[in-house]
Amino acid sequence: MPKFTITDQVDALSFDFTPYAGSGSIPEPSSEQIESFRRSLAELIAENSAATGDGLTLIQQVQAYLAVDAGQVNEKMLHLTAEVCSDSPSFDDLMALPFRPQQAFLGWIIGVFVRPEV
């Protein structure tokens, strides 16, 4: 008989920031947290996306994108991530990570919560 078991279908959310910080589990976000994260992410992208008018070349689009204050955008993204993860990891944990591990974690979180595997 077919059987659906949550633990067979949905992996636990955990992180390990060794050697930069600690490790732990992310509590399963509520539907409201996920929806808020998705809306906030969409707003952040819309606020900070490069202009894509007809007259802009790819080089001009890249230049416009690189001119955006990435520090402010990144800080907002880290706050959104800590919020959807119920502060496990916290904003301070995420800030303690070097750039590449931090961005890798953000990419993973976005992949898990915005485009989950079916």
pLDDT per residue over 23-64, tens digit each?
999 999 988 899 998 888 888 877 766 545 555 676 676 666
Residue 3 lies in a domain: no
Q: Which residues pair with 23 in a beta bridge?
A: 16
| Block residue for tokens 């802009």 | 56
Residue 21 lies in a domain: no
Question: Tell me, what's the pLDDT at 11?
Answer: 86
> pTM above the 0.85 mark?
no
pLDDT of residue 98 exceeding 80: yes
Q: What do you get for the CA distance between the two ends of the chain, in Å?
A: 21
Lowest mean pLDDT of 5-9, 10-14, 91-95, 105-109, name the range. 5-9
Of 103, 101, 116, the C-alpha closest to 77 is 103
Domain count across the chain: 1
Residue-number span of the structural domain to which 98 is assigned: 31-114
